[in-house]
Every structure is written in C-alpha cells, then in structure tokens.
C-alpha cells in the first residue's frame, strides 16, 4: 500500500462530546435501520395486518361471535381483550426481553459496550429505542383495526381507536419495562414472562383486595373504561387516571432502575447466550 | 521509558473453574505491543478486561490510570477491533459507522464525510459502500471493523487477531495502516497466535500461555531472556572434538556436527534445563579455550514455539 495515500486520509480529531441524547440518537438509528430489511418488513406487515384482517372477516363468517353483543362487542373483543390486553404484552415480552440478547446472539454487542458510555445509559437508550419502535408498530396495527372496523360499520370507530392509541402508550411503557428486566434476568424470559402474566396479571389481579393494584392490566382497564362503551364491555368502572398513571409510572421506574443496576453489575457475553 | 498506559497487578480471571488469566503482573507502554500466545492462552480475556467488557475476578487493571469497566473516560480513548467476524448483517457500512459515531459523541453533521474518510483510510473499495455488511468478505469485514475502531480518534487501538482470514495483500494493507497510525502517535495492542505476523510490526511483545505471562518487554530483551531455552548451541573453541566427547559422555546431546575449519561444534541439547544448570561447570572442567557461544534459535518465533508447546 502506498504510505502517502494513507497519510492523505489521516483523520483530524473529530470533536467528541459523548452525551445521553447522542447515545439515544445512535442506538435509535441502529434499531430502526435494523428493522427495515425485507425479511423483517414482511414480518412486521403480517404482524400489523393479521389481527385486523381476522377481525374484518370475523363479522361475516362468525355469527356466534356477533351474537354475543353485536358487531361492536365483537370488535372490542379483538381490539381490547385480545390485542391490547393479551397480544400487546406478549409482543412487549418478545421485543424488550430480547433487546439486549439479540445483540448478544448476533455477537455484535461488543461494538456497543466498548463505546464511551455508562452501561445504564446503554440499557436505557436501548429501552427507549425499542419503546419508540413498538409504539409505532402498535399504532399501525390500531390504524389497521380502524380501517377494518370502519369497513364493517362498527359504531364510533374513531373514538375507540383514539382511546386505544392513548392507552397503548402506558401499556407499552410498563410491559416493556417489566419485559426488559425479564430479559436481563433469564435466558428463558418468554417462559418466565408468561408465568408472571398468569400469576400477577390474571391471578393477583383478580383478588378483590388492594393487592390487585399490582396487576398493571387493572390500571389499564380503568383507563380504558374512560370510554363508556368499553366500561360496559369490560365491566369496569372508570377509575382515577392519576392513580392509574402513577401506579404504571412507579412500576416502570422501579423495573427500569433494577434493570439498569443489574446491567451495570453483570457481564453479558455471547458465549453464555449461545450456550442456552 | 514512558509511563505505562496499562498496568495489571495480580490480575486473575476465572470462568467458573476454568482459569482465563492467572495472577499476572504486567505493564504495557506506549507504542505497538504484540500480545502473543496460542489459542486459549488468555489473550482475548485480557483484551476484554482492558476494553471494559469483563471484570477481573481478582487483582486490578488500570488503563490510562483508571479501571475500564463502566468508565466512559477510558473507553473514549480506546478503539477496539474484535476478533469475531460478526457484524450487523442488515446494515450498510455508512449507517453502522454513523450510528456508532453518534453513540461515541460525534455530531451527526460529521457524517458522511467522516465515514468516507474512514473507509478510504482502511482501503475499502467505494464499490462496496452500498452493500450490506452481511455481503462482505472476511477481508472487507476486517477493514470496516478497523474503521469503526478508528472513528473517535482513540489514543489506544486494540486489535484482536486482525490478520485472521486475510490474504497476504490484506495483511500488508493492515500492517501499513497500523504503522501509519503508530507514526501518528497512537498506541496499538495487537494480538495474534502467530508471532511471525507481529515480529516486523511490534516494538514490544508480551507472550501469554495458560493464562500466565511467559515473557514481556522489547523484542530483543525477550530474545535474550528466552535464549536460555535454546535447544541448539554453536560453540567455537580450540578443541571442538574434545568438547563433543565431554558432552556425549555426560549424556547431554542428541546429536552434533563438527566444523573443523571453523573450530566449531554445533549440537542439539538433550535436556535443556539440566544442561544449562551444568553448562558453566562443564566448560570450566574441560579446560577448553572458548571463543564464542551462540544460540542457533535466533528467531523469536522459534523461541515462542518452544516456550508455548
């Protein structure tokens, strides 16, 4: 190689000021860019469209479902009971539980962890980037539901979807925080996440004492109940928004702090991850 | 000599019951340092501790006077090029470099110019810039890995087996880049399991085996330190035949060759540790006049092969 040509491209020292927002911008860029491969876009489209399509066809082909409470109730079963309260938490479990482990499995985490940042900053910016991406994909799914509902003549679709678009924000925030701790704690985060869901959300959440406030689903239901048709559908009285939001925020913060401390103390390496 | 940039004191690292590094003390000074040892010697473990990916099990390690784990002020000064070939397969090099650059604190506006200069510097052909990293060959991967390590103008560049999988031209390219970086005052640590790869490149060498430092320092110091391990000696004296007889009777040699004209005896030692314990006494007792003793194992690589096998 010509030594002169090497010296021609000698690099001036760039001005470098590592900061949280720079880290967030970098991680966000790597996150969304990595989602836009054809293979992942096909997967994303199928995830976004499959449930709205099912809900669309359910009206014409599923008479017994429609008889439960009319078309609107069937639509609520798809959008609220099935999507917001079941599919979305499971989606969060796979996305946030795997957010660090995906880099470990791809064996590219060393390029990130050797950058000038605190480990908690890495973890938190990863969380925020995945949070933004999941909010976008969830919103797209709800918009697809809106289209399906409108085409089938469901009552008051705009207000329903607006409510769900608002509720998805705290839902993804809190389920994401819980899932990210699961992902850092164990390789079998999917199994443990589902067990957690059954025990806390379905189990403790049904106990008719104050302990049921540990179930985030209950707080989300009380927020959903602000929209009267959903209050009737879920059989839940609208609760205090402040209480619900405070509980969700507190759980989110606690889980994120525990995760950040854990990530700061523990080593994560490719060989451990691949040994599962 | 300059102050060390890296200092390890009684540094150990275990993986369960397996020992990666075993109570080692060492210093690494500015310049190009070769980290050499066979596979499993502890090179990658040491590099991962230096780059803050692993923590020591006991002892301490300081890089630029600070512990590297979770320490941005140290990591800011380190560029790391790992041994692994894995890259984010779906990204293009510019996207990857600008993402990593932003994480490192480089403003977004510095791209794509900085990316272009980096890729030119590591001699990655422009035709490949639009491809995804998953389509890259081994050599192209090494170059783009080196580019990301150079991005934030580190004071210390750490390369784990950078020559792996490269053809001779690629090796020469990387060697030239490293020389020009060293010329600019960047310290470099470069690991390899093949010492010959580093012999022409490094001023200093640290040899590891079984998690221990076998030798460390400037190349010629190491050569003289380890010359005691030489298994072939050449002695010029007034009576090489007599010396051959003494050595043969003492069961010290496996074979020998006498060069009468040069008054020289070349011989292969049977049991080096026992032989070198008695060597001075043998010469004194022989009454021979010795003109010159030289080791035939002059190559650092030969010595390395001996002490690591």
A155 touches chain B (CB under 8 A): no
The pLDDT, as a whole number, for residue B285 is 87
A10 touches chain B (CB under 8 A): yes
Q: Which ranges of chain A have pLDDT less than 50?
A: 1-9, 61-68, 274-276
* Pairwise CA distance, residues A235 & A222, whole Å: 10
Residues whose CB falls within 8 Å of the CB of residue B239, separated by 6 or more in sequence, listed in order: B288
Q: What is the per-residue pLDDT across A39-76, written as a single tens digit (0 to 9) for each?
A: 788 888 888 888 888 888 876 544 444 444 566 778 88
* B186 touching chain A per CB within 8 A: no
Which of these ranges, A122-136, A242-256, B134-148, B182-196, has the smallest mean pLDDT? B182-196
What digits encode the pLDDT tens for the residues B265-303? 988 887 776 787 788 788 888 888 888 777 665 455 665
Nearest residue to B119 (alpha-carbon basis) of A12, A29, A11: A11
Contacts of B96 in chain A (CB under 8 A): 30
Q: Which of A13, A36, A264 sits opposite B70 (nearest CB)?
A: A264
Give the distance from residue A264's alpha carbon to the nearest chain B alpha carbon, in angstroms: 7
Bridge partners, B237 (sequence order) = B290
| pLDDT score at A1 | 41
Other C-beta atoms closer than 10 Å to the C-beta of A99 total: 23
pLDDT at B3: 85
At B223 the pLDDT is 64
The token pair at A63 is 């008479």
pLDDT digits (tens, 9 = 90+) for B50-104: 999 999 999 999 999 999 999 999 999 999 999 888 899 889 999 999 999 999 9
Strand B78-81 vs strand B156-160: parallel, antiparallel, or unpaired? parallel
Task: Give the CB-side neighbour count of residue B238, counting CA atoms within 13 A.
Answer: 5
Which of B70, B62, B81 shows the shortest CA–CA distance to B186? B81
The helix (H) or strand (E) run that includes residue A120 is helix A119-151
Residue written as tokens 């009454």? B287
**What value, to the nearest 5°, has the Cα angle with vertex A191 and ends A42 and B87?**
45
Which two structure tokens, joined as six digits, stand for B145?
Answer: 């890995």
**CA dihedral defined by B28, B34, B37, B40, rounded to 10 degrees?**
70
Nearest residue to B257 via CA among B247, B249, B248, B267: B267
Q: What pLDDT does residue A68 have?
A: 46
Q: What confidence tens digit (pLDDT) does each residue in B223-246 have?
A: 666 655 556 788 889 999 999 999
Q: Can you give the pLDDT at residue A103?
A: 85
Helices then strands (H, E): number in chain B? 11, 13
Secondary structure of chain B: what % helix, strand, coil (to 5)?
Answer: 40, 30, 35
Q: What percent of chain B has pLDDT over 70?
A: 90
Searching chain B, which residue's CA lies closest to the CA of residue A106? B86
Distance separating alpha carbons of residues B46 and B208, to the nearest angstrom: 10
Q: Per residue in B4-20, pLDDT tens?
A: 999 999 999 998 888 89
CA dihedral angle for residue B260, residue B265, residue B266, residue B269, rounded to 10 degrees? 150
Which of A7, A23, A107 faces B103 most closely, judged by CB atoms?
A23
Across the interface, whether the CB atoms of B82 and A110 are under 8 A apart is answered yes
The SS3 call for residue B222 is helix
Q: Is A162 exposed, middle or buried (0-12, 13-18, 19+ CB in 10 A)?
A: middle
Whole-number pLDDT of residue B72: 94
Tell me the domain boundaries of chain A: 26-268
Contacts B177 to A, Cβ<8 Å:
1, 6
Q: How far is CA A85 from the centre of its chain?
A: 12
Question: What pLDDT, on a 0 to 100 scale, did the predictor assign at position B227?
Answer: 53
Q: How confident is the model at residue B37 (pLDDT cuts 50, 70, 90)?
A: confident
Contact yes or no for A18 and B105 at CB 8 A:
yes
Task: Among B55, B91, B184, select the one facing A10 at the smallest CB separation.
Answer: B184
8 A C-beta contact, residue A137 and residue A44: yes
**Coil, helix or strand at residue B92:** coil
SS (H, E, C) A231-267: HHHHCCCCCCHHHHHHHHHHHHHHHHHHHHHHHHHCC
For B179, name the nearest residue in chain A, comparing CA atoms only.
Answer: A3
pLDDT tens readout for residues A107-148: 889 999 999 999 999 999 999 999 999 999 999 999 999 998
* Among the listed residues B140, B161, B144, B149, the one whose alpha carbon sits nearest the alpha carbon of residue B186: B149
* Nearest C-alpha in B relative to A122: B103
Q: How far apart are the C-alpha atoms of B180 and B197, rounded to whole Å? A: 17
The helix (H) or strand (E) run that includes residue B234 is strand B232-237
State which H helix or E strand residue B184 sits in.
none
Q: What are the φ and ψ backbone dihedral angles of A238, each rounded to 5 degrees?
A: -65, 130
Average pLDDT over residues B174-189: 91
Are A145 and A55 within 8 A, CB to CB? yes
Compute the distance between CA of residue B2 and CA of residue A34 in angstroms, rounded to an integer. 44
Point out the residue among B121, B152, B177 whose CB comes nearest to the CB of A16: B152
In this predicted structure, what is the pLDDT of residue A106? 82
Confidence at residue B305, expressed as pLDDT on a 0 to 100 scale: 64
Of B51, B114, B176, the CB nearest to A1: B176
Measured in degrees and rounded to the nearest 5, phi and psi for residue B204 equal -120, 155
């Amino acid at each position: 190689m010509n030594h002169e040509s090497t010296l021609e491209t000698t690099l001036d020292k760039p001005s470098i000021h590592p900061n949280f927002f720079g880290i967030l911008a970098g991680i966000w860029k790597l996150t969304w860019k990595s989602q836009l491969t054809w293979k992942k876009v096909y997967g994303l489209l199928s995830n976004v469209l499959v449930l709205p399509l099912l809900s669309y066809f359910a009206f014409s082909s599923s008479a017994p479902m429609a008889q439960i409470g009319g078309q609107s109730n069937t639509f609520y079963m798809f959008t609220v009971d099935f999507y917001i309260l079941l599919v979305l938490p499971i989606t969060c479990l796979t996305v946030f539980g795997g957010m660090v482990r995906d880099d470990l499995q791809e064996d590219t985490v060393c390029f990130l962890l050797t950058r000038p940042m605190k480990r908690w900053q890495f973890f938190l910016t990863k969380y925020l980037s995945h949070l933004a991406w999941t909010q976008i994909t969830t919103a797209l799914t709800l918009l697809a539901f809106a289209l399906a509902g409108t085409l089938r003549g469901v009552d008051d679709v705009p207000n329903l979807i607006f409510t769900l678009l608002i509720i998805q924000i705290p839902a993804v925030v809190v389920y994401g925080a819980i899932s990210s701790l699961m992902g850092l704690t164990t390789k079998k985060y999917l199994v443990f996440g589902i067990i957690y869901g059954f025990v806390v959300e379905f189990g403790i959440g049904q106990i008719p004492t104050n302990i049921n406030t540990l179930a985030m689903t209950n707080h989300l239901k009380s927020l959903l109940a602000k929209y009267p048709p959903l209050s009737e559908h879920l059989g839940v009285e609208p609760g205090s928004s402040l209480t619900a939001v405070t509980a969700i925020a507190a759980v989110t913060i606690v889980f994120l702090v525990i995760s950040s401390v854990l990530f700061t103390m523990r080593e994560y390496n490719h060989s451990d991850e691949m040994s599962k | 000599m300059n102050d060390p940039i890296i200092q390890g004191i009684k540094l150990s690292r275990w993986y369960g019951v397996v020992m990666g590094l075993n109570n080692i003390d060492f210093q690494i000074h500015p310049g190009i340092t070769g980290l050499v040892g066979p596979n499993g010697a502890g090179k990658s473990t040491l590099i991962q501790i230096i780059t803050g990916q692993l923590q020591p099990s006991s002892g301490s390690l300081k890089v630029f006077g600070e512990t590297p784990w979770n320490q941005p002020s140290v990591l800011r000064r380190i560029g790391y090029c790992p041994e692994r070939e894995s890259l984010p397969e779906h990204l293009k090099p510019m996207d990857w470099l600008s993402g990593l650059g932003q994480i490192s604190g480089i403003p977004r506006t510095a791209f794509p110019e900085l990316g272009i200069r980096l890729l030119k510097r590591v001699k990655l052909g422009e035709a490949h810039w639009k491809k995804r990293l998953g389509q890259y060959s081994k050599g192209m991967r090494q170059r783009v890995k080196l580019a990301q390590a150079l991005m934030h103008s580190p004071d210390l560049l750490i390369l784990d087996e950078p020559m792996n999988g490269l053809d001779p031209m690629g090796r020469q390219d990387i060697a030239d880049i490293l020389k020009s970086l060293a010329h600019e005052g960047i310290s470099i640590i470069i690991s390899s399991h093949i010492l010959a790869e580093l012999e022409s490149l490094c001023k200093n060498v640290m040899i590891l085996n079984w998690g221990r430092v076998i030798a460390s320092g400037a190349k010629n110091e190491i050569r003289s330190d380890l010359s005691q391990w030489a298994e072939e000696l050449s002695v010029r004296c007034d009576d090489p035949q007599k010396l051959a007889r003494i050595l043969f009777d003492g069961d010290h040699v496996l074979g020998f060759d006498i060069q009468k004209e040069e008054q020289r005896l070349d011989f292969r030692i049977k049991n080096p540790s026992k032989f070198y314990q008695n060597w001075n006494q043998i010469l004194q007792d022989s009454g021979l006049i010795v003109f010159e003793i030289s080791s035939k194992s002059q190559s650092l690589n030969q010595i390395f092969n001996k002490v690591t096998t």
